[in-house]
Structure 1
């Protein structure tokens, strides 16, 4: 069974990430939730983005790669928003990658590799239909790059982190459906 590496959003390692990890553990999965924000947690997205900017993109990428360096066996890389960038980066570059779960975000493939998406590494992308932080064209191009192993799911509304029960915009119905789809995905890994 692949370990799940679950990366937090720009708001830090919030209780909602812990709740997601526990839900996955209840399904029998090993889950790690590394902190790449120096222990800082933010209720306000703008404060979290200021932390992201203070760390800087090169250092954030380095921190994601260090997290990957700690992975020794098969892994599914998963992440929320900014963490989805890290999950995508590790899924395309780490030799033990077995899948990627991108929650509320995706980046152009060229931002994580100069090459192709690796064969046999499936991807699921989940976001709200009108999420202002997700570019549909980027998701579509990622789907083309991944090919047959790509799944893309949208949910009603415009809330960015709709699956975090501690944030405004939480949708229990959408979150439950998302986690069902994630469990189905993981059962095929």
Structure 2
């Protein structure tokens, strides 16, 4: 059993995130799914980013991230969808004891959360659509180099011919890709199991 904290995307705590958490619970894991938006959920990215800016931007996002793990044990796997990866990188870099980090739909450099180094004991798995409209190759490269230079394990998975961003959320009409989502969740479960073995 692994304990996991799963953070939602800029669109809020959508059904796709909750379904992922249920899959991991069915596999025997404990999953926390914080709602950093207080119930607000969006279908439109522009509206979601506007909401995020109004409530205080990244500074407030990270404050709520820290509050969300208050009382949660430190030896967990952090996972995040899209904008939730900011929370993942922040916690893995600043809160000692993490077992692993899962970045779904992109990654961010550690300097984006005012960190300099990646913990050598925290393996990383990144997933992203090959044709993701939000894809940032420079950010991915910088994050990969920082993780790898620390000595931590780093694996990047690109999903060929997938042009959507949140392709793993079945509630997003026009973005969901069942095959890519299944592959992503399968790889994530293998990663989580490996993190569990490391903790024994």
Could you tell me how far 1:106 is from its partner in structure 2? Answer: 1.2
- Structure 1 residues 108-187: aligned runs within 5 Å: 108-147=109-148, 148-156=152-160, 157-167=162-172, 168-187=174-193
Distance 1:73 1:61, change over 3 A: closer
CA drift at 1:19 = 0.5
Alpha-carbon distance, 1:114 to partner: 3.3
Q: Hey, what's the Cα distance between the residues in 2 that align with 1:100 and 1:127?
A: 15
Q: TM-score, structure 2 length as denominator?
A: 0.89
- Are the equivalent residues in 1 in contact too, given 2:93–2:115 (CA < 8 A)? no
Deviation of 1:145 (Å)? 1.2
- 2:55 corresponds to which residue? 55
Q: Is the 8 A contact 2:16 2:170 kept in 1?
A: yes
2:87 and 2:135 mapped to 1: Cα distance? 15
The offset of 1:50, in angstroms, is 1.5
- Report the Cα distance in structure 2 between the residues aligned to 1:114 and 1:77, rounded to whole angstroms: 16
Aligned length: 189
Instruction: Give the corresponding residue for 2:198.
Output: none
* SS of equivalent to 1:133: coil
Alignment partner of 1:188: what SS? helix
Structure 1 residue ranges (4+ consecutive) displaced by more than 3 angstroms after TM superposition = none
Structure 1 CA distance, aligned partners of 2:120 and 2:178?
A: 34
Question: What does 1:54-133 align with in structure 2 at a 5 Å threshold?
Answer: 54-56=54-56, 57-133=58-134
The answer to whether the Cα contact below 8 Å between 2:79 and 2:103 also exists between their aligned partners in 1 is yes
Give the alignment's Cα RMSD to 1 decimal: 1.3
- How far, CA to CA, are the matches of 1:118 and 1:16 in structure 2? 29
Q: Equivalents in 1 of 2:144, 2:92: separation in Å?
A: 14
Shift of 1:161: 0.0
Cα distance in 2 for partners of 1:183, 1:128 equals 18
Q: Distance between the aligned counterparts of 1:45 and 1:163, measured in 2?
A: 16
Q: Offset of 1:183 from its aligned partner?
A: 1.0
List runs of 5+ in structure 1 lacking aligned partners: none
Give how far 1:186 is off.
0.9
